[in-house]
Structure 1
Amino acid sequence: MDWSGGREALVVCSDRSMSVGITVWDMVSGDQLLHIPTCAASPHGLLCLREQFLVASQIHRHGSLGGGAIFIWPLNKPQSPLRNYPMEAIGPVSCSKDGVYIVGGAPSGNAYIWEVADGRLLKTWRAHHKSLTSVVFSDDDSLLISGSDDGMIRVWSMISLLDIADCGRFPSLFHSLLEHTSSITGLLSISGSSSPVLISSSLDGTCKVWDLVRGRLLRTRVFPAAITAIALDPGEQLLFSGSADGRIFVSMLDTGLVGDPFDVPENQPIVLNGHNRSITTLAFSRLGLVSASRDCTAHLWDVASGVIIRRFNHPKGAITNMVVIPKSSLLSVTNHQRFSNQFRVSLLDKYPQPGNSSMGMITLLPSCCSNRVHLPTIGFQSTASLNQQILDLEQECTPGAIQMKLETSIENRMWAARMTKHVMEMNKHLQSRLLDLMQNRLLLSADSTATRKRKKAMLESSRIQEEEQSQLPSYQ
């Protein structure tokens, strides 16, 4: 990730009161850079979209029938958020790596997926029987993973979720993982050395490592306290597990896969002590590990020495959400920013709509664009509207139209390549499982044949013995 200037900002919010809002600090100096009023989000309810927007699921927000809302702020102009009111309150939210989709989970167990460009509600379905506590995309965006308050983890195929033919039907469940015994508090997806890997944490005091393709549990790490947050270092070698008592456990990541370079024996984890209440979220910046807690503080750690480099005090309330963003995202769009990096988002539909709407959009556009270009028509849209805009722009022979068409073609090809790779991997593993089943069936068949032959031989031997005994003379 290339962050111009190299400086970072820390964004935090609380779940205590809407009046607390969002606070943004400079990671190096500790100075407060920005305060956005009117925000309170439950855990996993804050994200940064394409390094240009903040998205937060609001709790206890008036104006929504379900008592919730989703606000979207452009980072270069955070005074005018886009206010969305879904059918019910939303807790955890997540976005795909390319920023095309936003997913939200509700306390009712329902899940929602929106297309960012036109705000279209693509699918809503009953994902869990209990409240959703975490939702994430797999490392390649091909799978959606959801965790609930009862400890269940479910894995959904994005192909099934986005299938138009299945609109309104219950999507196909890829895997259901049932090993945790308490609420899921964190989900992390990585590519792994030979297969996609999922790491989960729970209030049951364990972190588990899963093979995402096979849906198989690989490793379980047990801790002496409930685990409330997890994070991986940028090299994906160390697992950081924050606990309910304020400790942060540092251990080597052991995926349990064959040939994994980090397959090491379990040992006593290193412990970072600095918080006196539950850890709510963990993240990594260029400067080190960042932890936040219900003790109203966030700490920046030097992981190698276990020393706190900087403390951020948040006296207005416990920090429940935290993201690290490039400081340059807070500045106005400059002439040096590429056109392809600018896009806009739309109001999120409350109900599924038959057509796309262009109302209520936020647009980030480079100031270097020619006045001849109709600025409101440039943006990151759904495929149909985007193609129409490209045709309109091509009539003016603008370089932006050619660039837009090229970027769209590249994104479509990359998405198709990811989907193809995912399907090929699924087929490969299904073939392997089929061969194993056939081999087991052949072995069982061979064993059954041998058993029948032994029984037949025993019966024949018994019959011969009876005939021989019947031919012997009897003596009185």
Structure 2
Amino acid sequence: MSDLIEAVFTSDANGSQWTCCAWDPRTGTNVMMYKGGGAAAENSLVLVRHEYLITANNTKPMLHIWPLNSQDQVSGTRFITPGKVLSLDVSPDGNYLVAGIQEVVHIWHLCSGKMITALSKHYQAVTKIKFTDDGSHFLSAGQDGNIVVWNLTKAISTNQKEAQPLYTLSGHGLSVTDFHVGAGGVRALLYTVSLDRTCRVYDLSTGNLLLDIVFPEAMQRIVVNKSETVAYLGSVSGRIYEVNLCSPPRSREYHIGIEESKNSFTGHNGSVTCLALSVDGELLISGGVDENVNIWHTPSRQLIRTLPHKGKISNVAFTCVTRRLKEPLEAKHKPSFVVTGNLKRMVDVEDDNYVVETIVNEAIEVTSARPKRPAVVTSTGTATTDSSNEIEKLRAQINELQKVNKELFNFCAKQSLLRE
């Protein structure tokens, strides 16, 4: 344990000095700078097995990856994506990368770069993607107010034409801005926040709503301590609310009053964009549109230190890393696995022999990632041409319906906000 240190990884919307930077929160000193990736998109900073750092470019359809103890990116590998990534996460074992591009969720096998599948269950852009702690499931939230829970094994298996989610949570009326998945795999608790001013607590295994907390303003971010006794929620005004989960209300719906609003962290000038907690829960890290990362002492709610940046804070991650973060890249300190393949930009339907392995609860389940293409024998090309034209017409209709749905959703959201 003496070889571990706590580090805070931050990124901002400017990206002129670095793409991401690691800090020592106890002293406020700079530990490592990761350069060459431009500005990182929100919800796109991920540590892969504490050996790699991955971010998505804020303006280009591209991912950037660094060894954790090197400021130079992995060379000889291209991480081009089908579109600009809005959010991403990597499975705990480092095998699968899941990214949200507009309203579609894409899954890659990280080491080989093969795109396994693309999932379309959201009607609006994806806002956040997160795996459960055991890697068996992942969740995707969107601007449509929905949270979709996916079983990883079923998502990457194509025994059916399109993978179906475990279930969809559609309780929020406006965009889901953030969520937190507790410990326990699919049996964990799920905490969600939205612009509709609510925080909802669900039983992830069943999807049942356990608690609905209503705030006086729209919520942007949420983080819960390891013991899941206290939740911290960042708002659009810059206030950070502290909610005690040890004494829940008797009713399912609970409204935060004025007196409870006073027990909060105040120090940001503008919306809170990021929240993270230290392992022991004593330090709360917050970032905002005011270009500052604030470090708070949670028992006293005192501001300890401010780390100034040059743009809106886009990502904050608090994690334990080894002290080799400060050491040069030597052979004995190289990562235990190597990313060798470029990311493919589409699903390769011709690759029938590609097999993936999913480890769930220490049991290996092997599934074919590509179905066998059925043989089609035709005397002329007429039937094939007619089928292709019909598919193109159906795709055009789907695109038109998605456009109309998006316009209708935006109109309803504006009307709802005007009434408030």
For Structure 1 versus Structure 2, the TM-score category normalised by the shorter chain is 0.7 to 0.9
Change (3 A) 1:345 1:88: same
* RMSD between superposed Cα atoms in Å: 3.0
* Aligned-partner residue type, residue 101 of structure 2: A
* Aligned-partner residue type, residue 172 of structure 1: Q
For residue 80 of structure 2, what is the aligned residue in structure 1?
85
For residue 305 of structure 1, what is the aligned residue in structure 2?
300
TM-score, reference length from structure 1: 0.67
Measure the CA separation in 2 of the matches of 1:329 and 1:282.
26
Which residue of 162, 171, 175 maps to 1:179? 171
Which residue of 228, 232, 237 maps to 1:240? 232
Q: What SS does the corresponding residue of 2:57 show, helix, strand or coil? A: strand
Please tell me whether the aligned partners of residues 41 and 91 of structure 1 are also in contact (alpha carbons under 8 angstroms).
Answer: no
Structure in which a larger fraction of residues adopt helix: 1
Measure the CA separation in 2 of the matches of 1:132 and 1:18.
27
Query: Alpha-carbon deviations, 1:238-259, whole Å to 9, x = none?
Result: 0110111111101022xxxxxx
TM-score, reference length from structure 2: 0.75
For residue 123 of structure 1, what is the aligned residue in structure 2?
117
Measure the CA separation in 2 of the matches of 1:251 and 1:302.
16
Where does the alignment leave 5 or more consecutive residues of structure 2 unmatched? 367-420
For residue 181 of structure 2, what is the aligned residue in structure 1?
189
* Aligned-partner residue type, residue 159 of structure 1: T
Change (3 A) 1:181 1:16: farther
Measure the CA separation in 2 of the matches of 1:413 and 1:195.
14
Measure the CA separation in 2 of the matches of 1:413 and 1:244.
39
For residue 142 of structure 1, what is the aligned residue in structure 2?
136
Which residue of 346, 363, 368 maps to 1:416? 363
Please tell me whether the aligned partners of residues 19 and 37 of structure 2 are also in contact (alpha carbons under 8 angstroms).
Answer: yes
Which residue of 338, 342, 348 maps to 1:344? 338
Measure the CA separation in 2 of the matches of 1:413 and 1:214.
19
For residue 413 of structure 2, what is the aligned residue in structure 1?
none
Shift of 1:274: 1.4
Please tell me whether the aligned partners of residues 136 and 185 of structure 2 are also in contact (alpha carbons under 8 angstroms).
Answer: no
Structure in which a larger fraction of residues adopt strand: 2
Shift of 1:16: 4.1
Shift of 1:34: 2.9
Shift of 1:310: 1.6
Confirm whether residue 37 of structure 1 aligns to residue 36 of structure 2.
yes
For residue 20 of structure 2, what is the aligned residue in structure 1?
22
Measure the CA separation in 1 of the matches of 2:362 and 2:190.
21
Confirm whether residue 53 of structure 1 aligns to residue 46 of structure 2.
no
Measure the CA separation in 2 of the matches of 1:34 and 1:6.
15
Shift of 1:333: 5.6
* Aligned-partner residue type, residue 272 of structure 1: F
Alignment of 1:33-432 (within 5 A): 33-35=31-33, 36-61=35-60, 68-81=61-74, 82-107=77-102, 109-166=103-160, 169-191=161-183, 195-253=187-245, 263=248, 268=260, 270-286=263-279, 288-314=283-309, 316-325=310-319, 326=321, 328=323, 330=325, 331-332=327-328, 342-346=336-340, 347-353=342-348, 412=359, 414-416=361-363
Change (3 A) 1:30 1:327: farther
Shift of 1:141: 2.1
Higher relative contact order structure (alpha carbons within 8 Å, sequence separation ≥ 6) = 2
Measure the CA separation in 2 of the matches of 1:165 and 1:100.
21
Counting aligned pairs with the same residue, the percent is 27
Measure the CA separation in 2 of the matches of 1:192 and 1:48.
20
Measure the CA separation in 2 of the matches of 1:327 and 1:205.
39
Measure the CA separation in 2 of the matches of 1:53 and 1:313.
25
Measure the CA separation in 2 of the matches of 1:103 and 1:328.
29
Change (3 A) 1:19 1:308: closer
Please tell me whether the aligned partners of residues 87 and 127 of structure 2 are also in contact (alpha carbons under 8 angstroms).
Answer: yes
Measure the CA separation in 2 of the matches of 1:171 and 1:413.
18
* Aligned-partner residue type, residue 49 of structure 1: V
- Whose Rg is larger? 1
Query: Alpha-carbon deviations, 1:392-438, whole Å to 9, x = none?
Result: xxxxxxxxxxxxxxxxxxx947442899xxxxxxxxxxxxxxxxxxx
Shift of 1:180: 0.5
Shift of 1:307: 0.9
Measure the CA separation in 1 of the matches of 2:224 and 2:361.
26
Please tell me whether the aligned partners of residues 19 and 37 of structure 1 are also in contact (alpha carbons under 8 angstroms).
Answer: no
Measure the CA separation in 2 of the matches of 1:333 and 1:73.
12
Please tell me whether the aligned partners of residues 252 and 264 of structure 1 are also in contact (alpha carbons under 8 angstroms).
Answer: no
- How many equivalent pairs are there? 348
Where does the alignment leave 5 or more consecutive residues of structure 1 unmatched? 62-67, 254-260, 357-380, 384-410, 420-476
Query: Alpha-carbon deviations, 1:423-467, whole Å to 9, x = none?
Result: xxxxxxxxxxxxxxxxxxxxxxxxxxxxxxxxxxxxxxxxxxxxx
